[in-house]
Amino acid sequence: MSSRLLSGRYELLEKIGDGGMAVVYKGKDKLLNRFIAVKILRPEFTKDATFVENFKRESQAAAGLSHPNIVGVYDVGREGNINYIIMELIEGCTLNEIITEEAPMDYRKVIDISKQVASALRVAHKNKIIHRDVKPHNIMITNDGVVKLADFGIARAVNDATLSTGNKIIGSVHYFSPEQARGNYVDERSDIYSLGIVMYEMLTGKVPFDGENPVTVALKHINEEITSPSELVEGIPPALERAVMKATNKYQTNRYSSADELIEELDNIDFVTKVVGNSVFVQASDVIEKRNQRKKVMAEEEEEEAPKKPEKKKNKKKKIIISVALMLLIVAGGLIVAWQKGVFSPTKAAPDFLDKTIKEAEVLAEEEGFKIKKGKDVYSSEYPEGRICIQDPEPGTETVKGGTITVNVSKGSKEGMVPNVVGMQEDDVEALLKEYSYKLGNVKWITSPEKAGKVLEQDPVAGTKLDKESEINIVVSDGKGNEKGTVPSLTRQSLEDAKKAIKAAGFKVGNITYEWSDDIGKGYVMWQQYQANSMLDMGTSIDIEVSSGPEPSPKE
């Protein structure tokens, strides 16, 4: 790549991601004046016809899909030996990042995310596209909470959806369906299995199968049973757990037959949790399960009795009436229990009791119409001793007015444990450190787009065991934006010299690729991602391409 401009239109600004087949850059469409994502096939694969074909297949598959829950594709092109896709730039984060921070996640959030991913799969499947690589890394969450499925890099038309055992395993084996692991026929239900594994990870914080290498994990998908999520985490609605276990059944025929069927099931669960409440979820979810079983039985009865004499219809009608009456009785029973438990009472957002004493919380609870129940005393490096550090339900959660909120109180940090000050304002840090018997050390201000005064780093990090009265150093944002640096000239320098120049200028060494060259000596830089003397945010990674020397002549 000789410049930062593709096809005279797409300007590459910075690398924002790496994939197995491609590198993703943040770019700008100079014609439409909008920011974009540019996915470029790695140089080492441009000579591999199979990889290029897979890349083209991704382009064609994704470009034909248009849906709010699918990352949009704007353009597909090739310039020289560069194959690229112009995509929607997502301002947000991956589901993988959210799982890392929040899991085990609230089941309501799991339902919401799962429904949106299933909606994306529904559109893809109706267009005869199997994603084949549904995993948290390929699921983006925008800053507005919209879920978008990305990277149809190994998608293939349904008619070609067979992997032979001799083919290379593609995708993340932790989310593989058993049929993918075997190299057998793959269809829409394979994507549903992978989504089921994602749901499992959101609910528990763990993937069901792990191992030392991909082969071990693949064999577990084939041979071992999944541990029920409720054995790992309490409070998961039974119907949601059943949905996860059905989606991840080892046999395709036992899973949901389509994304539509999974969405319908999640809608039912979502409705019951909102209307009836989790306190009587077992009764309500059992109603749904029994209703579905009765539907199946009634359908079988209709099949059996269709060829019989007309007078048998009377018996069938009686059975249906009895079944409906029984269902109504069960529903009524569930609703009576719900009424007795007060789940139809007015709801209100739970107050924020964090960082308050028990007495302060009791006063606030009485004002807001709630009750306080003291739970456990726990260690906390974030909240001082005697302050509430955890509450259930969490602040802002819709809760039955008059209900009880359980709070855990901080015992302070463990002896000699450094508290977390990252994210705090610099003015508040010294007081917090004093509560933990530490002192504020060196304060370094750096140029950053974060709010002025926000603590970006601390040394030592939170949780470190450290003697009392020790100093904690912090790095603070000045709020002036990203600090700029001048890109050094790297071409025709040795690889080692180029690395040193990049680091000395305040940047990071990015992706290093190699290419044959008759003009540039072996081991010397022949291309750099950003033009020399241009201005760039400090800390940005700079990719370079290094000469492998002249291409060897083919042997006679």
- Write out the catalytic residue numbers: 133
| β pairing state of 388-392 and 404-410 | antiparallel
Specify the amino acid at residue 487: V
CB 380 within 8 A of CB 410: yes
Report how far residue 247's alpha carbon sits from residue 175's, in angstroms, rounded to the nearest whole number: 12
Q: What does the radius of gyration of the chain's CA atoms come to, in whole angstroms?
A: 29
CB 261 within 8 A of CB 243: no
Nearest to 109 by CA among 238, 202, 246: 202
Length of the chain: 556
Nearest to 547 by CA among 528, 508, 519: 519
Report how far residue 490's alpha carbon sits from residue 518's, in angstroms, rounded to the nearest whole number: 18
Tell me which residue has tokens 């692991």. 181
CB 28 within 8 A of CB 13: yes
Nearest to 382 by CA among 420, 352, 409: 420
CB 35 within 8 A of CB 61: no
Report how far residue 405's alpha carbon sits from residue 403's, in angstroms, rounded to the nearest whole number: 7
Backbone angles phi, psi at 16, to 5 degrees: -125, -5
DSSP code, position 21: S
CB 412 within 8 A of CB 384: yes
Give 75's contacts (C-beta < 8 A, 6+ positions apart): 85, 86
DSSP code, position 317: H
